[in-house]
A and B are shown apart, each in its own frame.
Chain A
């Protein structure tokens, strides 16, 4: 939510506004508070001036009153008597007349003559006051003093008869009545309090603390404690304005007396009038303003968010449009660019439009490149496949795959440049043929594919493609092209693109082996091909799952009439394809390059079987067929050696059969390997002697022990005199070279007498036994050895 441009914009706006508002509110509130305080102080200043004036007026009135009193002749006369009781009476009497709270009489020298209240001993201030009073002469003096924790406004006036015969002091307590009077004048509450200097008072700081004791106030006791409590913790100075704890009152101190210092130490208690300004109204005012500000703040906040929401909507709408536009472009859809009035976003919109165009162009280029051959400009394999995908299923028409034979040779003879030029030329000519194909494509290399709308027989296609038969001129030499042409009518295969492509390829492949160079795909070709693929694919699985197994065909020694050796042959019972003839799958596997896998498996299986037979007491020499690839492996002797050792068998237990063809590939290596095997003590035989690429030279070169005469000369020996001669001659030749001779493929007893005549050493064939599984073989051997007469007629 807060990641969106809009909410961030609003957040910034609102934060900015809040900041400004808070600052304004803070400034105005604090200014207001300061102003309130200032006004409060000003009001207190005025009040304190009024108070001072009030006090001064009262002093003047009191002096006058006392003066009138002392001018009374009777008073003077009474004082003149100097009788203590008389004087005290007259003091009390006259004092009462003017409501004095305290009256006393001093001698002109300052001795206390009489007093209505007991004035504390050593009230040292009397001397100071009297001195001041004397300086003022007859005018009289007022001073505010503390006597016994009570604050008095003291008036000192001489009694003149007519010279000064005594001083009369009259004290008027600063009491609640006065406080009330001051309150009536100033409108403020008033307290009178006493402060004492702290012990060890430092004159510099002149710490003063309000003294617990009598405090006179117009405030009630509850309020007073709240108002006075801050004073306990602070120094007091005249004109100080101090807030009460709850700020309900602002109090100002007004010093009633001057601090007196002895030896730089403030010793005298200080007397204070404290004016209390009710600050509550100011506070209320302040709170009201604050509440109003909060309300204004809240309203403007809501307004700002609302307005911001709408304003940013207008701002972000073009952006959202652009986002939608960009999304459409991303999805590859085209669309009109949104109309945008904001410059920057307009540029962005234009950029997006340009980008879309560029993308389109590039897409088209890519599309073209993806579907076309870069060299000839014809459609390519991808285009063909997608074309077919759209066309299928389809009944009419045919595909034709044209392949230039020996194009590799042309390339290597004339160079790649000319090869490419040739391909372009071919492409050009194919574009001119009639009827023109629906689609003309180069699948790659020298393969051109044409799709015709009508099914055409091979001769018509041959005619159509006749332009390719005329000579090509390449770098001043004329070239006659030979082509192979595969045809696949759609009605044969019309479902799967992969099938079609494979089958046309098969058809073309067949054409290469065809004299005309043109073939129509025959139903089933693909299935053969598939079967071969399955065979190659399933080899490993079948080896693991015992679908491939070994059978043994006895080899009978004619002289001894015993079976001492056998040939191991491979059999494959495929679960789906059924029995697969060995010559079929062996050649496939040899082509696929997997023959070593089979040979090794075979050797392991035979060695395992030999070991098992040995345990059972049957000594047997088993021959395994090796292919050319096996013999090219120099590690073969070592592998066999290890295998024999593991199985606990002598090397003579194993025999190996090789064809002469196998020797042709790499004669030196093969001979070296065979030599090594022979030295190990393994029996070696030449298989299928007399057929294929037989060479008597090999007979001389190969280090073998045995020659196996091919069945072709043996199977019909009893009827064919030539065969008999060949066998006889071969036996003679072999024996003269010191080799044993085995005849393969003996079918009947008549043959047996012939090969015996020809002096073959060993015979193998269906006459004795077909190849048998291990258990059957063992049983057969037992039977043969017990009743050899069944095979050898007397």
Chain B
């Protein structure tokens, strides 16, 4: 029953400049934390960027990150407790054993794919890192909007991902020209709650 509604409003645009996306779920609600990567046939410059995923209030912030492969990501710990960040995901398996503050070395995400982060001593903590090929990738804001500026003209493949998606989306081809355009995408999701620290005290959740 999980159907993807990926409607591309302007299929053949060539002009460079700015491109906006609006991501919605199957209910028509704005969908935050969706990742859009625009891939091109052309070799695109590798912009080495330092990413950062902080641990604050027993939560990974941000929950969903999107980085180009080869990005070094810092995991600063702003909580009083130590954290034990790990990933068993294939693109990047790593483990930052119990640490406080900022670990010595950032983690290099050198393979494209989805990396799920967890904390070994806080099971509820969860974060996703989308490692993309292209420098043009971003995460939708609360309103489900993503805007790319200064996009070179040309044809792109639009990769669409969300942690709750029921099915992997098929890449869509989009042509970027000078006009400012806004594209709408719909992702079929199973709506869940974002990872949050459990309530303090004794109770079911502490079992």
Q: Real complex partners, A and B?
A: yes
Contact A162 B93 (CB under 8 A): no
Contact A165 B88 (CB under 8 A): yes
Contact B88 A160 (CB under 8 A): no
Q: A73-B120, A76-B88, A80-B88 are in contact. Are A162 and B207 (CB under 8 A)?
A: no
> Which chain B residues lie closer than 8 Å to A163 at the CB level?
116, 118, 126
> Which chain B residues lie closer than 8 Å to A76 at the CB level?
88
Give the distance in Å from the alpha carbon of A165 to the alpha carbon of B114 in the complex: 13
Across the two chains, which residue of chain A brings its CB closest to B88? A80
Q: How far is the CB of A168 from chain B (nearest CB, A)?
A: 15
Across the two chains, which residue of chain A brings its CB closest to B128? A163
B125 within 8 A of partner (CB): yes
B123 within 8 A of partner (CB): yes
> Which chain A residues lie closer than 8 Å to B120 at the CB level?
73
> Which chain B residues lie closer than 8 Å to A73 at the CB level?
84, 86, 120
Q: How far is the CB of A90 from chain B (nearest CB, A)?
A: 13
In A401-415, which residues have CB < 8 Å from any B CB? none
In B117-149, which residues have CB < 8 Å from any A CB? 117-120, 123-126
> Which chain A residues lie closer than 8 Å to B84 at the CB level?
73
A64's partner among B86, B88, B93, B207 (CB-CB below 8 A) is B207
Across the two chains, which residue of chain B brings its CB closest to A165? B88
Contact B123 A160 (CB under 8 A): yes
> Which chain B residues lie closer than 8 Å to A162 at the CB level?
116-119, 123-126, 195
Query: Quick one: CB contact mask for A632-648 with B, threshold 8 Å, 1 for yes?
Result: 00000000000000000
> Which chain B residues lie closer than 8 Å to A161 at the CB level?
86, 88, 116, 118
> Which chain A residues lie closer than 8 Å to B125 at the CB level?
162
A17 within 8 A of partner (CB): no
Give the distance in Å from the alpha carbon of A293 to the alpha carbon of B195 in the complex: 75
A702 within 8 A of partner (CB): no
A contact residues, range: 10 to 19
Contact A77 B123 (CB under 8 A): no
In A97-147, which residues have CB < 8 Å from any B CB? none
Give the distance in Å from the alpha carbon of A73 to the alpha carbon of B119 in the complex: 10
Q: How far is the CB of B120 from chain A (nearest CB, A)?
A: 5
Give the distance in Å from the alpha carbon of A163 to the alpha carbon of B123 in the complex: 10
Across the two chains, which residue of chain B brings its CB closest to A76? B88
Interface centre among A64, A71, A80 (most CB of B within 10 A): A80
In A156-183, which residues have CB < 8 Å from any B CB? 160-163, 165
Across the two chains, which residue of chain B brings its CB closest to A73? B120
Query: Quick one: CB contact mask for A55-90 with B, threshold 8 Å, 1 for yes?
Result: 000000000100000010100110010000000000
> Which chain A residues lie closer than 8 Å to B124 at the CB level?
162
Q: Which DSSP category, helix, strand, loop or mixed, fits chain B's interface?
A: strand
> Which chain A residues lie closer than 8 Å to B117 at the CB level?
162
Across the two chains, which residue of chain B brings its CB closest to A77? B88
Give the distance in Å from the alpha carbon of A586 to the alpha carbon of B86 in the complex: 176
> Which chain B residues lie closer than 8 Å to A165 at the CB level?
88
Give the distance in Å from the alpha carbon of A400 to the alpha carbon of B93 in the complex: 174
Q: How far is the CB of A264 from chain B (nearest CB, A)?
A: 25
Interface centre among A64, A80, A161, A162 (most CB of B within 10 A): A162
> Which chain B residues lie closer than 8 Å to A71 at the CB level?
123
Give the distance in Å from the alpha carbon of A335 to the alpha carbon of B117 in the complex: 132
Across the two chains, which residue of chain B brings its CB closest to A161? B88
Q: How far is the CB of A589 from chain B (nearest CB, A)?
A: 152
Q: How far is the CB of B189 from chain A (nearest CB, A)?
A: 14
Give the distance in Å from the alpha carbon of A73 to the alpha carbon of B125 in the complex: 14
Give the distance in Å from the alpha carbon of A73 to the alpha carbon of B207 in the complex: 17
Give the distance in Å from the alpha carbon of A163 to the alpha carbon of B89 in the complex: 10
Q: How far is the CB of B59 from chain A (nearest CB, A)?
A: 12
Across the two chains, which residue of chain A brings its CB closest to B60? A162
> Which chain B residues lie closer than 8 Å to A77 at the CB level?
88
Give the distance in Å from the alpha carbon of A160 to the alpha carbon of B123 in the complex: 8
Give the distance in Å from the alpha carbon of A162 to the alpha carbon of B124 in the complex: 7
Across the two chains, which residue of chain B brings its CB closest to A71? B123
A80's partner among B93, B123, B195, B207 (CB-CB below 8 A) is B93
Give the distance in Å from the alpha carbon of A165 to the alpha carbon of B126 in the complex: 13
Interface centre among B84, B86, B88, B207 (most CB of A within 10 A): B88
Across the two chains, which residue of chain A brings its CB closest to B116? A163
Give the distance in Å from the alpha carbon of A340 to the alpha carbon of B39 in the complex: 134
Q: How far is the CB of B166 from chain A (nearest CB, A)?
A: 12
Q: How far is the CB of B177 from chain A (nearest CB, A)?
A: 39
Query: Quick one: CB contact mask for B6-45 with A, threshold 8 Å, 1 for yes?
Result: 0000000000000000000000000000000000000000
Give the distance in Å from the alpha carbon of A71 to the alpha carbon of B120 in the complex: 9
Q: How far is the CB of A685 from chain B (nearest CB, A)?
A: 167
> Which chain B residues lie closer than 8 Å to A160 at the CB level?
118, 123
Q: How far is the CB of A163 from chain B (nearest CB, A)?
A: 5
Query: Quick one: CB contact mask for A699-722 with B, threshold 8 Å, 1 for yes?
Result: 000000000000000000000000
Give the distance in Å from the alpha carbon of A71 to the alpha carbon of B126 in the complex: 14
> Which chain A residues lie closer than 8 Å to B123 at the CB level?
71, 160, 162
Q: How far is the CB of B90 from chain A (nearest CB, A)?
A: 9
Give the distance in Å from the alpha carbon of A273 to the alpha carbon of B124 in the complex: 38
Give the distance in Å from the alpha carbon of A792 to the alpha carbon of B43 in the complex: 220
> Which chain B residues lie closer than 8 Å to A64 at the CB level?
207
Interface centre among A64, A76, A161 (most CB of B within 10 A): A161
Give the distance in Å from the alpha carbon of A162 to the alpha carbon of B118 in the complex: 5
> Which chain A residues lie closer than 8 Å to B126 at the CB level?
162-163
> Which chain A residues lie closer than 8 Å to B195 at the CB level?
162
Across the two chains, which residue of chain A brings its CB closest to B119? A162
Give the distance in Å from the alpha carbon of A71 to the alpha carbon of B84 in the complex: 14
Give the distance in Å from the alpha carbon of A163 to the alpha carbon of B63 in the complex: 13
Q: How far is the CB of A64 from chain B (nearest CB, A)?
A: 6
In B190-206, which residues have CB < 8 Å from any A CB? 195
Query: Quick one: CB contact mask for B83-102 with A, threshold 8 Å, 1 for yes?
Result: 01010100001000000000
Give the distance in Å from the alpha carbon of A160 to the alpha carbon of B117 in the complex: 11
Interface centre among A71, A76, A77, A163 (most CB of B within 10 A): A163
Give the distance in Å from the alpha carbon of A71 to the alpha carbon of B124 in the complex: 11
Q: How far is the CB of A466 from chain B (nearest CB, A)?
A: 158
Q: How far is the CB of A62 from chain B (nearest CB, A)?
A: 13
Across the two chains, which residue of chain B brings its CB closest to A163? B116
> Which chain A residues lie closer than 8 Å to B88 at the CB level?
76-77, 80, 161, 165
Give the distance in Å from the alpha carbon of A163 to the alpha carbon of B195 in the complex: 11
Give the distance in Å from the alpha carbon of A723 to the alpha carbon of B166 in the complex: 191
Query: Quick one: CB contact mask for A215-236 with B, threshold 8 Å, 1 for yes?
Result: 0000000000000000000000
Q: How far is the CB of B192 from chain A (nearest CB, A)?
A: 9
Across the two chains, which residue of chain A brings its CB closest to B124? A162
Q: How far is the CB of A76 from chain B (nearest CB, A)?
A: 7
In B58-75, which residues have CB < 8 Å from any A CB? none
> Which chain A residues lie closer than 8 Å to B86 at the CB level?
73, 161
Query: Quick one: CB contact mask for B160-184 with A, threshold 8 Å, 1 for yes?
Result: 0000000000000000000000000
In A500-530, which residues have CB < 8 Å from any B CB? none
> Which chain B residues lie closer than 8 Å to A80 at the CB level?
88, 93
Across the two chains, which residue of chain B brings its CB closest to A79? B88
Q: How far is the CB of B207 from chain A (nearest CB, A)?
A: 6
Q: How far is the CB of A537 from chain B (nearest CB, A)?
A: 144
> Which chain A residues lie closer than 8 Å to B119 at the CB level?
162
Give the distance in Å from the alpha carbon of A564 to the alpha carbon of B85 in the complex: 192
Give the distance in Å from the alpha carbon of A71 to the alpha carbon of B195 in the complex: 17
Give the distance in Å from the alpha carbon of A160 to the alpha carbon of B120 in the complex: 10
Give the distance in Å from the alpha carbon of A64 to the alpha carbon of B93 in the complex: 28
Across the two chains, which residue of chain A brings its CB closest to B120? A73
Q: How far is the CB of A67 from chain B (nearest CB, A)?
A: 8
16 A–B contacts from the bound complex (CB under 8 Å): A73-B86, A73-B120, A77-B88, A80-B88, A160-B118, A160-B123, A161-B116, A161-B118, A162-B117, A162-B118, A162-B119, A162-B124, A162-B126, A162-B195, A163-B118, A163-B126
Q: A73-B84, A80-B93, A161-B116 are in contact. List 18 more A-B contacts (CB 8 A).
A: A64-B207, A71-B123, A73-B86, A73-B120, A76-B88, A80-B88, A160-B118, A161-B88, A161-B118, A162-B117, A162-B118, A162-B123, A162-B124, A162-B125, A162-B126, A162-B195, A163-B116, A163-B126
CB-CB nearest 9 A-B residue pairs: A162-B118, A80-B88, A162-B126, A161-B88, A73-B120, A163-B116, A161-B118, A71-B123, A162-B116
